[in-house]
Chains A and B, each alone.
Chain A
Amino acid sequence: MIELREDSLHISFPEVHPDASMSVEFQRTLRIPDDGKTYPLPAGLGAFPCQHIDDHVQTVPTNWLKRGGIMLPMYQSEAMWINFSGSYISDRETCYPFAMKIAAGKINAVTGKQYKNKLKKAPQDYVVVPEQPWLDGYCVERGLIRQFVAMPLGDGYSAEEQITGEGEHGGLQIIVYPMKREVFEQRFPKIQHQELRDESMLLHSPMQNVYSCDATPDMGLAPGGRMKQEIYDDPFDFSDWDQANASRCFVHLANSLVWRQITGEDAPTVPPTSKEYANSDLPWFDYYGEATAVEGSKILNNLKSVATLGKQAGKNPLPENQSVTVDDIQLIRSRLSEDEVRDSQF
């Protein structure tokens, strides 16, 4: 079951386990320069406002109604990252594990292949939550992604259009599978109170503090600037995942003008430029997880970035794309309780 709570997708499987719940949030952020350099993680600038498609039956396009799900507004060339948050289960000292597939325009963001519902082990086409705290873009090499950048569907920039030659779907698609109940119970048994009190002084879940988790109507996500980010290997057995239970959601990306036509409300503030970001003294982040990372997709690595495609076409699709100097990088480590919150607000 997926519910929309305060601009966050709350995903739960009460039929599998009472603790099987997690959240997904879509964060506004700086669009890093698409200049061939590799940048660290920019801060989150707050969640995109999300609304049910079904709350706007009269004004959304017919194909959006058919797909269901939610919608959020994005400006052209605005960037996004996706925050995953588990609910910490104190008497087991963990969050319930999930396997999650993320696609943009029905192109898998980890492998570059066409979206399919089922999980695939080799090459791994999903991320594991809570091991993976967030995803900022397409996995192009081991430890390297190209940032998700919103571009109008039909202009040819999106990964979907570059790979399939068509802009049919746009948006984001997610599907989540929980760990099997019996596997969870076995891997993460309840801890006695005395043990819990002693160990809680030393160890915290990596997710505990990360959670605080004429316009064409459709936008697609195109590959933007390069960013350092690992997509972690699945630390569990492939058979641990309960593929008989899944929840999925289509996230429609509405051009900011279309958003106003549909909802009667303006999209939130205009995204900041790199220069504004630097001037506001917001930090950059570097995340160190303990797990190994997946290799990266050759298909996605062969895609052309927005700036490259624009240059070839004699256009300038990314205003304010000048390189920036990164000087304030804060380290986030996966198993410390301090300094883990990447979110930041202007």
Chain B
Amino acid sequence: MSFGSHVRLSREARLKSDRSYSVRQVAARIGVEPSYLSKVERDEQPPPSEQKIRRLAEELDEDVDVLLAMAGKVSEDLRHTIIKRPQLFAEMIRELQDMPDHAVLRLVREVRDGDW
């Protein structure tokens, strides 16, 4: 599913029980023009900036990392983290790509032993 379709379905699902989730009102709350949000939802415009996607995720109670990924973006903090140690993270991500979720979760929660 595209970024635009996902946002539209999520917004319309909320609109059924809450009229404040109209295109106009959501656009106003995240700080864009209603026509722009409408075009994004119809995939006639590329996804907005990270900042707007963050506000949209908050508005629609969506996971920001998932929404950013659907928009083909990586959050700024992750980008900084990777750029600091590019070889290490590139190698790690490649190694993790085929691991099941539970194995990845276990790995990232492991307590790191350092130098003491």
Binding site for B on A (CB under 8 A): 1-5, 9, 52-54, 65-70, 106, 169, 173, 247-250
Residue among A169, A247, A250 with the most chain B CB within 10 A? Answer: A250
Question: Quick check: B112 and A54 within 8 Å, CB to CB?
Answer: yes
In the bound assembly, the distance between CA atoms of A9 and B113 in angstroms comes to 13
Q: List the interface of chain B (C-beta within 8 A of A).
A: 106, 109-116
B106 to chain A: which residues have CB within 8 Å? 3
Question: Complex: how many Å from CA A106 to CA B112?
Answer: 18
Given contacts A3-B111, A54-B112, A249-B113, 19 further A-B contacts (CB under 8 A): A1-B110, A2-B110, A2-B113, A3-B110, A4-B111, A5-B109, A9-B111, A52-B112, A66-B115, A67-B116, A68-B111, A68-B113, A68-B114, A69-B111, A69-B112, A69-B113, A173-B116, A247-B113, A249-B111
Chain B residues whose C-beta falls within 8 Å of the C-beta of A1 in the assembled complex: 110
Q: Which of A3, A53, A173 contacts B109 (CB 8 A)?
A: A3
Q: Can you list 9 contacts pairing A with B, beta carbon distance less than 8 Å?
A: A3-B109, A3-B110, A4-B111, A5-B109, A54-B112, A68-B116, A248-B113, A249-B111, A250-B114
Question: How far is A53 from B114 in the complex, measured between Cα atoms in Å?
Answer: 11
Residue of A nearest to B81 (CB): A57
Residues of B within 8 A of A106 (CB): 116
* B113 neighbours in A (Cβ, 8 Å): 2, 68-69, 247-250
Inter-subunit contact B111/A2 (CB<8 Å): yes
Most buried by A among B106, B109, B113: B113
| Cβ contact within 8 Å between B112 and A68 | yes
Nearest-neighbour CB distance to chain B for A26, whole angstroms, equals: 13
Which A residues lie within 8 Å of B115 (CB)?
Answer: 66-68
A65–B114 touching, CB < 8 Å? yes
- Chain B's closest residue to A246 (CB) is B113
Contact A52 B111 (CB under 8 A): yes
Complex: A66 Cα to B114 Cα, angstroms: 6
- Nearest A residue to B106 via CB reads A3
Q: Which chain B positions have C-beta within 8 A of A5?
A: 109
Most-contacted residue by chain A among B109, B111, B112, B114 (CB, 10 A):
B111
**Closest Cβ–Cβ distance, residue B114 to chain A (whole Å):** 3
Q: Measured between C-beta atoms, what is the minimum distance from A276 to chain B in Å?
A: 34
- Nearest chain B CB to A275 CB, angstrom units: 37
Q: Are A69 and B110 in contact (CB under 8 A)?
A: no
- Residues on the B chain within 8 Å of A3, using CB: 106, 109-111
Shortest CB distance B112–A (Å): 4
Cross-chain contact A250 with B116 (CB below 8 angstroms): yes
* Chain B residues near A68 (CB-CB < 8 A): 111-116
CB-CB under 8 A from A4, the residues of chain B are 109, 111
Alpha-carbon separation in the docked complex, A8 to B86 (Å): 32
> How far, in angstroms, from A52 to B114 measured CA to CA in the complex?
12
What residues of A have a CB within 8 angstroms of the CB of B111 in the complex? 2-4, 9, 52, 68-70, 249
Smallest CB separation, B88 vs chain A (Å): 13
What's the nearest-Cβ distance from chain A to residue B103, in Å? 12
How long is the Cα–Cα vector from A82 to B115 in the complex, in angstroms?
Answer: 23
* C-alpha gap A53/B110 in the complex (Å): 11
CA A265 – CA B114 in complex, angstroms?
25
| Chain A residues in 8 Å Cβ range of B109 | 3-5, 52
B85 → chain A closest CB, angstroms? 11
Shortest distance between the CB of A153 and any CB in chain B (Å): 14
- Which A residue sits closest to B77, measured CB to CB? A58
Q: Give the chain A neighbours of B110 by CB distance below 8 A.
A: 1-3
